[in-house]
């Protein structure tokens, strides 16, 4: 089982600190943003403490390093050509940063059509990605993420994602991130019939393209199009279904990354704690602990 979480690439330790954080959770995989997810300001690779981080990773793990592109890059929006071109150039640089950090797969929100229509957005996303992939020519995969369907998001079903791949000539390095919360919110029966979802994915896209799973519970019911993550076992998908996905024999080699929210442990001081060690323990032992959040509060009080 390959299981980990989002960790922070920040402070002076940068990659070293991110790897140490992942190991502290008992993770053998981790996912990092190369900078803040809400903006495109990035440090240079020589500021990311890569050598020390890679030395630690070789000695302690984690074995799998995944990445996530910032949320604000939208290759589906061509209303302002300068922003579209900036997104393409940013992604070219992002791939180079990923290669330097040892990231093998970069999860990427396909974008939103912002009123231009899904078909036009799909074509512009494919065109932009092709420019990125044609220019970079390395082994980092860009994994289009399944989306919940909030607003004018594109990539809310497998057919749209397959179309983006098909319309991208240099698509050898295109892959898919299946987010369990997003897919459920988009209408797929993640909770009740995951095998059916996986069969549909294989038929439309192909399991060989599935390179990452974002293992998240959802605050909202199937088909809600809300995109609200919650902790493992505390949402509408539930522990049993997420545990089944985590240990699924067809997904043994696919890294599962949790992006579940921190737990508030001190209301007065607004102090919160990462749930990932507890969630990894539950999934490793295949036993749900309904008191997980309460125990985190006690442990951090």
Phi-psi region of 238 (alpha: psi -120 to 50; beta: other; left: phi over 0): left
Instruction: State the burial class of residue 32 (Cβ atoms within 10 Å of its Cβ: 0-12, 13-18, 19+).
Output: buried
CB atoms near residue 138 (< 10 Å): 11
Give per-residue pLDDT as tens, 197-217: 999 999 999 999 999 999 999
What's the total number of domains in the chain?
A: 1
H-state helical runs in 27-74: 50-60
Per the annotation, binding residues are 68, 109, 145, 179, 182, 214, 227, 229, 259
- Mean pLDDT in runs of 10 for the chain (301 residues)? 96 96 98 95 96 97 96 94 96 97 98 96 98 92 97 97 97 98 98 98 98 98 97 98 98 98 84 96 97 89 73
Per the annotation, binding residues for Zn(2+) are 68, 109, 145, 179, 182, 214, 227, 229, 259
Query: At 28, which CATH number?
Result: 3.20.20.150
As a residue count, the chain comes to 301
Q: Which domain holds residue 107?
A: 3-300
Contact 121, 161 (CB under 8 A): no
User: What's the predicted TM-score (pTM) here?
Assistant: 0.96
Give per-residue pLDDT as tens, 230-256: 999 999 999 999 999 999 999 999 999
CB atoms near residue 267 (< 10 Å): 8
Beta strands in the chain (DSSP E): 3-6, 29-33, 64-68, 105-108, 141-145, 174-179, 210-214, 217-218, 229-230, 256-258, 263-266, 271-273
Q: Are strands 217-218 and 229-230 parallel, antiparallel or unpaired?
A: antiparallel
């Amino acid at each position: 089982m390959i299981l980990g979480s989002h960790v922070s690439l920040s402070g002076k330790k940068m990659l070293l600190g991110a790897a140490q954080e992942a190991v502290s959770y008992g993770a053998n995989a981790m996912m990092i943003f190369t900078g803040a997810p809400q903006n495109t300001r990035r440090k240079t690779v020589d500021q990311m403490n890569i050598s020390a981080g890679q030395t630690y990773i070789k000695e302690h793990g984690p074995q799998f390093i995944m990445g996530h592109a910032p949320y604000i890059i939208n290759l589906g929006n061509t209303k302002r050509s300068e922003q579209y071109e900036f997104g393409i150039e940013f992604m070219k640089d992002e791939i180079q940063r990923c290669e330097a950090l040892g990231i093998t797969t970069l999860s990427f929100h396909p974008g939103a059509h912002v009123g231009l229509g899904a078909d036009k957005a799909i074509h512009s996303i494919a065109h932009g990605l092709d420019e990125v992939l044609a220019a970079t020519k390395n082994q980092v995969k860009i994994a289009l993420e399944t989306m919940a369907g909030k607003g004018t998001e594109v990539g809310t079903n497998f057919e749209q994602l397959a179309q983006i791949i098909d319309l991208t000539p240099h698509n050898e390095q295109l892959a898919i991130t299946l987010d369990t919360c997003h897919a459920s919110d988009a209408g797929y029966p993640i909770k009740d019939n995951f095998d059916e979802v996986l069969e549909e994915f294989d038929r439309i896209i192909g399991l060989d393209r599935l390179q990452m799973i974002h293992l998240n519970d959802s605050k909202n019911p199937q088909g809600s199009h809300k995109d609200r993550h919650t902790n493992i076992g505390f949402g509408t998908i539930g522990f049993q279904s997420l545990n089944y996905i985590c240990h699924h024999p067809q997904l043994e080699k696919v890294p599962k990354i949790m992006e579940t929210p921190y737990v508030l442990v001190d209301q007065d001081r607004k102090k919160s704690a990462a749930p990932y060690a507890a969630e990894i323990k539950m999934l490793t032992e295949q036993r749900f602990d309904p008191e997980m959040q309460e125990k985190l509060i006690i442990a951090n009080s």
